[in-house]
């Protein structure tokens, strides 16, 4: 595997479910990110991890919970989501936090019913 891989690619969940998104990077990068992408809106940064420490949390609701067990893996735990949380969730990595050259995964398309 190369680059940044995300699973699952598609997820449908009810508002009371608990699910997790997974991201793995094979680039040896030190920073990993979660972004939310909604139709016709700019990318929204949710979380940033640098060397496994969370360095940024952009006022994201607590129903989204990130986890970074090591520099290659990133999770986004989801619980009691709202329909407006339906979006494409993108994971990215970069050599260091603050870099502008991000490598993105293909995203997880989330639908909340």
Partner 1 sequence: EDQVTQSPEALRLQEGESSSLNCSYTVSGLRGLFWYRQDPGKGPEFLFTLYSAGEEKEKERLKATLTKKESFLHITAPKPEDSATYLCALGEDSNYQLIWGAGTKLIIKP
Question: CB 15 → partner 1: shortest distance, Å?
Answer: 25
The minimum distance between CB 70 and partner 1, in angstroms, equals 21
Question: Rule CB under 8 A: which residues touch partner 1?
Answer: 4, 40-43, 45, 48, 56, 90-92, 97-98, 100-107
Shortest Å distance, C-beta 103 to partner 1: 7
Phi, psi values for residue 85, rounded to 5°: -80, -5
For residues 92 and 41, the answer to whether their CB atoms sit within 8 Å is no
Q: Which is nearer to partner 1, 68 or 102 (CB)?
A: 102
């Amino acid at each position: 595997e190369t680059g940044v891989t995300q699973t699952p690619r598609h997820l449908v969940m009810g508002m009371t479910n608990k699910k997790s998104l997974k991201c793995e990077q094979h680039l040896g990068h030190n920073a990993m990110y979660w972004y939310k992408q909604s139709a016709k809106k700019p990318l929204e940064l949710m979380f940033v991890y640098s060397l496994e420490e969370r360095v940024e949390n952009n006022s994201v609701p607590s129903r989204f919970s990130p986890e970074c067990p090591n520099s290659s893996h990133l999770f986004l735990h989801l619980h009691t989501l709202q329909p407006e949380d339906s979006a494409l969730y993108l994971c990215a990595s970069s050599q260091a936090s603050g870099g502008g050259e991000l490598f993105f995964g293909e995203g997880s398309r989330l639908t909340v019913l």
